[in-house]
Amino acid sequence: MKIFLNKTIMMILAAVVALGLQACKKDAQAAEKDAVSKTNEVIEETQVKSAAAQSEEVEVVKNADIDPNSKEGQILARLNKVRPDLEFTDIEPSPAPGIYQGVVNGEGIIYVTETADFFFPGDMIQVTDSGLVNVSDDKRREIQSRFNGTRKDMMAEVSRDEMIIFSPKGEVKASIAVFTDVDCGYCQKLHNEVPQLNEMGIEVKYLAYPRAGIGSPSYKKVVSAWCAKDKQDSLTKLKRRESIPENLCADNPVAKQFNLGRKAGVTGTPALVLESGELVPGYMPAPQLAKRLGL
């Protein structure tokens, strides 16, 4: 009887230990998964803060000439207080009495009352004897021209070694930089036309822009292409929806290029940057693109 009880107790203890080990294993796996998730969140948050800090530097330069005690300075201070998530710059009088104009987030034109109690985005239309005139157009062209120069300087700092480049066999007549996501349908469509673009003398320089963010499945795919021995072939396979071996090398430039895209105004893919610094969002057929490039 004692032997039977001892065996029973031993079996119960063994079962308890086994259950405990299994629970510990599950807890460890859950903890590991949570740690990876938190690590990715920290990485992405760091990258976002880095991009935000760089954008803030640009904003400081644009607002450097505004006297804090002036009407423009008071408007700027009030806007920054109520909407710190937005970047307001270039506050100045508009053609309409009592209304000031400014720029939000580097590209959008806004109009604001001199008390900063009301502001609205969009265009201002002036009524003249000869008709209606959009007085926002000049400011919009000024903003675009200024940021094209800034974007051109940003792109000039990217090493060719960090891009995946498809070059013509002969003379390079024009060059475009393309922010791309391997899971983007229009990116895949554009990539199918790269041979045609190369035949026209257009060089295509790819930079990574995984829309889902750092640590996402798309991010891991594009990192694997950048880390591959044959980068062109790997990127082409991904654009054809084929799989490639996962290779997450530590020195890949994907996160840096993703942040560069954000700074450059990229909001979707494909996003083309011309040699002038002009940003062309979306897919454009090869013949139309060649015409845009003057070929």
> Mean pLDDT lowest for which of 44-48, 156-160, 203-207?
44-48
With a CB cutoff of 8 Å and minimum separation 6, the contacts of 217 are 183
Provide CATH 3.10.450.70 ranges for the chain. Answer: 62-154
What pTM, to 2 d.p., does this model score?
0.65
Better-predicted residue by pLDDT, 139 or 14: 139
Distance of CA 36 to the CA centre of its chain: 23
Share of the chain above pLDDT 90, in %: 59
Rounded Cα distance between 262 and 14, Å, is: 57
Per CATH, domain 160-292 is 3.40.30.10: yes
Highest mean pLDDT among 1-5, 142-146, 250-254: 250-254
Is-catalytic flag, 184?
Answer: yes
Question: Helix (H, G, I), strand (E, B), or coil: what is residue 238?
Answer: helix
**Single-letter residue type at 145:** S
Which two structure tokens, joined as six digits, stand for 80?
Answer: 């920054």
Residue 42 pLDDT: 38
Which position among 90, 183, 187, 262 bears the catalytic label?
187
Residue 158 pLDDT: 97
| Per-residue pLDDT tens over the stretch 44-94 | 443 444 444 444 444 444 565 678 888 899 999 999 998 888 888 889 999
Which position among 90, 151, 183, 211 bears the catalytic label?
211
| Per-residue pLDDT tens over the stretch 90-147 | 899 999 999 999 988 777 889 999 999 998 888 999 999 999 999 888 888 888 888 8
Residue 135 pLDDT: 86
Side-chain-side CA neighbours of 41 within 13 Å: the count stands at: 6
Rounded Cα distance between 240 and 234, Å, is: 10
| Per-residue pLDDT tens over the stretch 183-200 | 999 999 999 999 999 999
Closest CA to 105 of 79, 124, 125: 79
Average pLDDT over residues 262-277: 93
Residue 268 pLDDT: 93
Helices 185-192 and 231-239, axial angle in degrees (round to 10): 120
Residue 162 pLDDT: 98
Residue 122 pLDDT: 87
Which position among 90, 151, 184, 262 bears the catalytic label?
184
Provide CATH 3.40.30.10 ranges for the chain. Answer: 160-292
Between the alpha carbon of residue 143 and those of residues 77, 136, 137, 229, 276, the distances in Å are 21, 11, 10, 41, 14
Tell me the β-bridge partners of 203.
Answer: 175
Average pLDDT over residues 230-249: 97
Instruction: Say yes or no to pLDDT of 33 above 80.
Output: no
Residue 34 pLDDT: 52
Q: How confident is the model at residue 11 (pLDDT cuts 50, 70, 90)?
A: low
Is-catalytic flag, 211?
Answer: yes
What CATH architecture does domain 62-154 belong to? Roll (3.10)
What separation, in Å, do the N-terminal and C-terminal C-alpha atoms of the chain show?
97
Rounded Cα distance between 82 and 62, Å, is: 20
Instruction: Say yes or no to pLDDT of 32 above 50.
Output: no
Residue 10 pLDDT: 53
Which position among 181, 183, 227, 262 bears the catalytic label?
181
